[in-house]
A = this chain, B = another copy of it.
Amino acid sequence: MNRIANGRPAIPPQARQPVADLPASKIREIANAGFGRTDLLRFWFGESTRSTPEVIKQAAIAGIAADETFYTHNNGREDLREALSAYLARLHTARFDPGRVTVTSSGVSALMIAMQALLSLGDRVVMVTPIWPNVAQIPQLLGAEVTRIPVRSEAGGWALDLDELLAAITPATRLLVINSPGNPTGWTISREQQAALLQHCRRLGVWILADDVYERLLLGEGAGNAPSFLPIADPHDRLISSNSFSKAWLMTGWRLGWLVAPPELFTDLGKLIEINTSCAPGFIQSAGIAALAEGEPHVAALKADLTQNRNRLIAGLRAIGGVEAPSPEGGMYAFFRISGHPASVELARRLVAEAGLGLAPGAAFGPEGEGWLRWCFAAGQGALDEGLARLARWVSDRQAEEHS
């Protein structure tokens, strides 16, 4: 076929520039380098190695058998929205009208829908970083400009400079994005910081998007849930909370999430869902109802495990010479660095090749993550211990090399 147009050589087909400019996943780049290796310990993805609880799986199976395979309401089935509304009331001891709740086809879809609702070309977004790459790429796709305010390793944990963040949020800002507990650091915002940000954003008319997917995973003996903007805000505040069943209920591959938004947005969110995915599958919504009704023992068990794993992993990392490992307050990741290894992609690649250890490079989470590594500790203790041993051996071998 003649593919020369008007005498000019054909240009290969390609996506538009803003799409081509989206960075390829640096995590996947490392994961691909280890593809097919059976001796690897993989801690790079944000996914537990545990299966979805049986009670949730059975609800979906029953849903399929009962032909819950037709279209549902764009904003989600009413029974799931009511179950979410009751769940939120239990969690936050405040009333949440089901008219504020919208079901989405995953947590990332919740973020996409929320940002489609709010962001136009040239809008300015402020976010606390380092952050899950998707959260920054969605505004990039929509043509918005992102200002990044990094948390810092301080006194064995992660700290936000609230004044720096407040100063970055100006009348020209459209949206503030807070992911707390955060991926990749586990940084968790305090109630006082939330109140100050809410007041500031209210005064300036700035929207807040709280990515709350790890709110149930505040770690530590007797820890409750992470502080949420929801109970301190008015239903009509410019606040959207995005959430997901993925992490707390071990439902990553199910692709079910939700939004809590001002009731004024309900119809528009439904219109956006109609043209994005139309609805989440009905039988998966049944799985969500089962998770809310029967999932608490599983959430508690996961939390207890993650707390143990965090303590064990952070202690193990700190015992390795040259390692800085701030303790995450929540979530399921340790974000740490090894002195003398400032290039995280290179380091992660070497750890795969030389130590059989699969970690995510910090650069995947933004420039301020460079030099760091993310270790997902939603894994078995045996695997974590073996991973620690491999890392310790690799670091000590490198040090021996340097001194030889």
Interface flag for A284 (CB, 8 Å): yes
Which single member of B12, B271, B275, B283 contacts A108 (CB below 8 Å)?
B275
Per-residue CB contact flags for chain A residues 215-243 toward chain B (1 = under 8 Å, else 0) read 00000000000000000001011100000
* A134 and B71 contact, Cβ closer than 8 Å, known pairs A6-B203, A116-B141, A121-B143: no
* Interface contact A265-B15, CB-CB below 8 Å: yes
Complex copy number for this chain: 2
* Interface contact B72-A253, CB-CB below 8 Å: yes
Interface flag for A279 (CB, 8 Å): yes
**Complex Cα distance A119/B18, Å?**
10
* Interface contact B251-A277, CB-CB below 8 Å: no
Q: Enumerate chain B residues within 8 angstroms of A238, measured Cβ to Cβ.
A: 13
**Complex Cα distance A238/B5, Å?**
13
Interface flag for A190 (CB, 8 Å): no
Which single member of B22, B265, B279 contacts A14 (CB below 8 Å)?
B265
Interface flag for A381 (CB, 8 Å): no
- Shortest beta-carbon distance, A209 to chain B, in Å? 12
* A106 and B278 contact, Cβ closer than 8 Å, known pairs A3-B234, A14-B265, A121-B121: yes
Residue of A6, A119, A277 most packed against chain B (CB within 10 A): A277
**Complex Cα distance A271/B121, Å?**
20
Smallest CB-CB A-B distances: 7 pairs: A15-B268, A13-B262, A15-B117, A69-B253, A70-B253, A22-B271, A52-B69
Could you pull out 16 A-B pairs where Cβ atoms are within 8 angstroms? A3-B202, A5-B203, A6-B203, A13-B236, A16-B120, A22-B272, A22-B275, A47-B70, A52-B67, A57-B64, A68-B253, A108-B274, A109-B277, A121-B143, A253-B281, A255-B280
